[in-house]
Amino acid sequence: MKVPAGSADAFAKAPPGNIRAILIYGPDLGLVRERAEAAVIAVAGSLSDPFNVVEFTPSALKDDPSKLTDEACAISMMGGRRVVRLRDATDAVAKAAADTLAATEQTGDGALIIIEAGDLNPRSKLRALFEKADGAAVIACYMDEGAGLDDLVRKSLADAGISATGDVISWIAGNLGSDRMVSRMELEKLTLYAAGQSEITLEDAQAVIGDAAAVTLDDVVYAATGGNLKGLTVALARARFEGVASIAILRAASRHLSRLEEAVAAMTGGANPDSAMKSLRPPVFFKQQNSFRNQLQRWRPQTLSRARAELIQAEIDCKTTGMPDEAVCERALMRLAAMAGARVPR
């Protein structure tokens, strides 16, 4: 059975007794690991219990294909339910998993089998097996974004007894990585930095979360899409000094244009600029709201579409023409600035 996304964390922390096996997969490997560990602790009480927790990788099945079944059917020497954890799985273990599910179905008991995998496509044999088998569950782990990231930040700070305003939480969420483990590490650094404080300020967050490259990217993108030619020149120079890749700049600009398109579409439907900005996820950072509002007046749907095409072509040129990436990127951003109203020298 498929576990709904909203129930995934609760399911992992308390797997139902009738579940014999769980497949946890997805592109967010940090979240895959976090949920697998939660399930192990829920059943065995510890990640490192030498009697009740067995962990191995698919390479162990090459020499002994029945190892998964043998471990799943083994009885705990010290009592309690055992956990068998197979990490880094692919479709190559589908047959072994099917044999194990069949064996444990006949015995009616045995260990909880936890199989961890990366991103499996809808045609995956492993996914199909677990989605259809009785007593098996599937938990998908996709990268945190939007409200999910806000909730992660809010809960992590609350667990540490620290509060933050909505604007600060939005900034933190917008500058975390897409991998749950990396995000946890960043938030742990932040709570350690703020130990003894009751509230996290924006300055605290900016001192700890992410790096200067993220701020530099914002400077480049907002200057280009705001028609600020002088600011764009300065921000691009800083980006080069900090080693920010041209492709990263082009993609950041494309993401920003997508947000502008979404907000402009909302305004076309009758929303005012403030409502359009508030509808975006994550919301526009409060220090950038004036700039974003100004850009909403500069850009129209057709122009945004042309600008997106310009950035896509620039990325293709960076990868295929042999031209210097920096020159291609700068030319594309200058054109964006011109579309936004800047007078670009020719």
Nearest to 29 by CA among 90, 103, 159, 118: 118
- pLDDT exceeds cutoff 90 at 218: no
Domain check: are 241 and 228 in the same one? yes
DSSP string, 51-93: TTEEEE-THHHHH-TTHHHHHHHPPPSSSS--EEEEEEE-GGG
The predicted-structure confidence for 60-70, as pLDDT tens digits, reads as follows 898 888 999 99
The position carrying tokens 């497949």 is: 23
Q: Which residues pair with 214 in a beta bridge?
A: none
- Give the per-residue pLDDT at 163: 93
- pLDDT exceeds cutoff 70 at 300: yes
Boundary of a domain, candidates 123, 140, 157: 140
Decide if 161 is inside a domain.
yes
Handedness of CA 179, 185, 188, 194 (dihedral sign): negative
Instruction: Please report which confidence band the pLDDT of residue 210 belongs to, taking 50, 70 and 90 as the band edges.
Output: low
Task: Identify which has the larger pLDDT, 97 or 287.
Answer: 97
Amino acid at 244: V
Boundary of a domain, candidates 179, 208, 237: 208
Whole-angstrom CA distances from 252 to 63, 212, 248, 318, 320 are 47, 15, 6, 15, 20
Domain check: are 135 and 187 in the same one? no
Q: Which domain holds residue 257?
A: 212-339
Instruction: Please report which confidence band the pLDDT of residue 211 belongs to, taking 50, 70 and 90 as the band edges.
Output: low
Instruction: Please report which confidence band the pLDDT of residue 343 belongs to, taking 50, 70 and 90 as the band edges.
Output: low
Determine the length of the chain: 346
- Give the per-residue pLDDT at 214: 60
Decide if 346 is inside a domain.
no
Domain check: are 273 and 287 in the same one? yes
- Average pLDDT, stretch 130-139? 95
Domain check: are 16 and 103 in the same one? yes
- Write out the two tokens for 155: 């809960």
Quick check: 126 and 23 in contact, CB under 8 A? yes
The position carrying tokens 């030319």 is: 331
- d(C-alpha 344, C-alpha 161), whole Å: 51
- Give the per-residue pLDDT at 144: 66
Decide if 286 is inside a domain.
yes
Decide if 136 is inside a domain.
yes
Domain check: are 291 and 192 in the same one? no
Nearest to 111 by CA among 157, 68, 172: 68
Alpha-helical runs (H) found in the chain: 8-13, 29-44, 59-63, 67-73, 94-107, 125-132, 147-159, 166-174, 180-193, 202-208, 212-225, 229-241, 246-268, 273-278, 289-298, 301-320, 325-339
Domain check: are 199 and 310 in the same one? no
Domain check: are 125 and 65 in the same one? yes
Task: Please count the structural domains in the chain.
Answer: 3
Decide if 296 is inside a domain.
yes
DSSP string, 191-203: HHHTTT-SB--HH
Burial 297-329 (b: 16+ CB within 10 A, else e): eebeeebbeebbebbeebbebbeeeeeebeebb
Instruction: Please report which confidence band the pLDDT of residue 283 belongs to, taking 50, 70 and 90 as the band edges.
Output: confident
Decide if 271 is inside a domain.
yes
- Write out the two tokens for 54: 């067995």
**CATH code for position 182:** 1.10.8.60
- Average pLDDT, stretch 24-31? 90
Handedness of CA 162, 150, 168, 37 (dihedral sign): positive
Instruction: Please report which confidence band the pLDDT of residue 285 belongs to, taking 50, 70 and 90 as the band edges.
Output: confident
Decide if 344 is inside a domain.
no
